[in-house]
Every structure is written in structure tokens, then in C-alpha cells.
Amino acid sequence: MYAAKGQSVETTLEDFDIKQVLGQGSFGKVYLVQHKKSQKFLAMKSIRKDVVIEHEQLDNLRLEKHILLCVEHPFLVSMEFVFQKESRIYFLMNFVKGGELFKHLTDVRRFDEDRARFYGAQVALALGYLHNSKILYRDLKPENILMSEDGYIKLADFGLAKLLGDEMANSFCGTPEYLSPEMINGTGHDHTLDWWALGVLIYEMIIGIPPFYNQNKHKMYYLIENGSIRWPDPVKHGITVSEDAKDLISKLLDKNKTTRLG
């Protein structure tokens, strides 16, 4: 068992009422729970230890716990409590009521540029904070951006995050549509891969599909490494992209990480 964040009293599963299942992850389920004493609603991630060990993800889980306990930023999910039982570890985090950005984007297909700018700026601030803390996020996508009731966002799920010093990272991970060229070709990556993913996100928010998307994953990887950015035709597709947005996206989607914006 562990103490609550910022408190000295030990917390256990018995301190919470489980209300419903919110989702199913690779290592267990996520529940909506209510803290009996404070009546506060939280999201509880129940993680099976045997599955974590089987998939050799113990170091990643330790890092995720460290990040969630240490981050203090308005656009990042943080952890309120953490404790364990014999077979499971429990992370209790802010419950973000508005759901995933992915659902909001799917409902309307694409956002106008003002709305995309509003979300993109918050994501950029969150990434900047993580990078200043030597943390690579590595899993930016609409499914990992949660919407608060007040309309602001929170970046969630640090399962693929990595602490980085001066060396390059080399592991292959992430969502195919959001992978950077250097992740695909295995030349080593650093914080600049998160800025590439921000370019993909802004493009997808405005246009409704990732910039290099193809149903054939190998073709998509080829396009990410070698293809140019395709802009919709205002007449044919009914989508107009401003020159400012094109300029920002093009600089974020620079295939050369040393000259990439960010």
C-alpha cells in the first residue's frame, strides 16, 4: 500500500466505491470510482502484475507511476492515489468527464481552425512541460487527449513515455498514423518526434484524416518517410486550409528532425 499524493494516511481499495467500468486496457480495466471520504470522482486504473511482468513492462510502469505522481500541469492528467494488492496495482487519477477528443472529432468529422488552434496550443504547452522534465511522450493521438467539462484538454496515458538524457531512444512504439520518419527507419529519436506527432494531430483535426494515412500500413510508412503533405482541394473536397495552418503543419512535419519546428 502507498500513501495518497501529498498525504501521510495509507489508502486502500476499501476507501472507494466502484461505480462503473470506463474502459479496458492492455493490462487491466479502468473504473469510475468515488472516494468515500471526499466524495470526489476519480478514474481508477487496475493493473494486473502478472501481465505487466509477462510483457516485460515493469520499467515502463514504474516510469508511468513516477510521471503521474510528479507532473503538475493544467493540461496533463495526474495521480491522486496509488496502492497495490497481491495481484494488482491501482492508479487513481483525475476523472476527466468530457471523454476523448477522438469521440468529439469523430462526431463532427473535423474542427474549424480556431478550435484546432485552441486544442493544439494546449497540447504544445503540455509537451513543452514534459520535454523540460526530460520526458518523451511518444503516444500523441486523439484517443489520449481527454476533454474537461470546461472545454480544456488533458493529455493522458504515459505508458509509452520515456525519460531521456543526452542519448537517443531506439525502441519502436506508438500509433502507426502518428509515427515519425526516424521512428520508422530506426535512426534514433528524441523529443522532436512529439512535435512531428503534433503536426499530424493538427492536420487530422482540421482535415479529418492523418496526413499520410493509407489502409496498407507498409505504404503508409513509405509515405511518412518519403511522401509530401497532401492538401485538400477547396472546390473538390470543400475544405480550405489557411496559409498559416499550412506553414505550421509543414514545419512540424519536417522529415529532418534537426530542422523540425519545436
Cβ–Cβ < 8 Å for 149, 97:
yes
pLDDT digits (tens, 9 = 90+) for 159-212: 899 988 767 888 888 999 999 999 999 999 999 999 999 999 999 999 999 999
pLDDT digits (tens, 9 = 90+) for 32-72: 999 999 999 999 999 999 999 988 888 889 989 999 998 89
Amino acid at 7: Q
Predicted local confidence at residue 2, as pLDDT: 46
pTM of structure: 0.91
Known catalytic residue at 107: no
Residue 9 above 60 pLDDT? no
Going along the chain from its start, the domains and CATH numbers come out as 13-94 (3.30.200.20), 101-252 (1.10.510.10)
Q: Of the candidates 218, 220, 219, 180, which has an alpha carbon nearest to the alpha carbon of residue 197?
A: 180
Q: What is the mean pLDDT of the chain?
A: 92
Identify the active-site residue in 15, 17, 112, 139.
Answer: 139
User: HEC profile for 128-178?
Assistant: HHHHHCCEECCCCCHHHEEECCCCCEEECCCCCCEECCCCCECCCCCCHHH
The DSSP output letter for 3 is B
